[in-house]
Amino acid sequence: MKLILLGAPGAGKGTQAEKIIDKYKIPQISTGDILRENVKNQTELGLKAKEYMEKGELVPDDVIIGIIKDRLAKDDCRNGYILDGFPRTIPQAEALTEALKPDKIDKVIFINVSDDVVIERLSLRRVCKNCGAIYHMKYNPPKEEGVCDKCGGEVYQRDDDKEETIKNRLKVYREQTEPLVKYYSDSGLLVEIDGTKSVDEIANDIDSVLSKIGGN
C-alpha cells in the first residue's frame, strides 16, 4: 500500500499517519522529520536545508528527491509506505512517478483545512526538545508550563511554528503545493477528507478509503 498524505502544514497529516502505521504496519516517510534530524546533527544536507526551513520556504527539489529515492530503497518499504511532506510541487510529483516505475501510488489522501484552523493549531503547538512529544497550549498543554510530561525535557516553540513563519508557509503551500490537489484529482488518485472533524472521525474516513485498496 503506497500512499501520499497531502494537506497544508498543520492539517493533521502526522497524526493520521501514526494511525495508518499502527493498523497497516507500513513506515511513514516524512521529509520534514528527515530534514530536521539532519539540521540537528549539522550534516551537510542539514546546513544546506536550514536556511530554507527557517524562512518557511521549500527545500530545493534536487535535495528532497535524492532523500526520498534513498529512503524508499530500504527494506522496510517493500510492503508500502506513507509519504508525508512529499511531493510538494508538481515537478516533484512527476519525478516521483518516474522514480517508482513500474510501481505507482495507490491513493493520495488530501486532508482539507482552512488557513485559520492551521494558524491556531500550529502557533499554539509546542514540542519537547528531548523526546519529541507534541503539545497544544489550548487543547493539550503540558501539566507544567515548559516541561514535558513524559520525560521532563524542555518544551518549546519551533521557529517554523511562529505565526509569521506559518503565514509564509501557508503562502508557499497555496502557491506551490495546492496545485497537486488538481494534479492527483485528474489522475483519479485523490480522495478529499474533511480535516476539521475530530481526530478519530478523520481516521475513520481515511480507513474507509484504505480498506478498499486491494492488497499491500
Q: Confirm whether 169 is a catalytic residue.
A: yes
Q: Confirm whether 126 is a catalytic residue.
A: no
Q: Which of 19, 55, 129, 158 is catalytic?
A: 158
Q: Which of 36, 50, 121, 125 is catalytic?
A: 125
Q: Which of 13, 36, 107, 126 is catalytic?
A: 13
Rounded to an integer, what distance in angstroms lies between the CA atom of residue 80 and that of residue 66?
A: 19
Indicate the residue type of 56: G
Q: Which of 36, 50, 88, 121 is catalytic?
A: 88
Rounded to an integer, what distance in angstroms lies between the CA atom of residue 181 and that of residue 171?
A: 16
Q: Confirm whether 174 is a catalytic residue.
A: no
Q: Confirm whether 69 is a catalytic residue.
A: no
Q: Confirm whether 121 is a catalytic residue.
A: no
Cβ–Cβ under 8 Å, residues 125 and 9: no
Return the sign of the alpha-carbon dihedral for residues 19, 20, 26, 30. Answer: negative
Cβ–Cβ under 8 Å, residues 31 and 64: yes
The residues that are catalytic are: 13, 88, 125, 158, 169
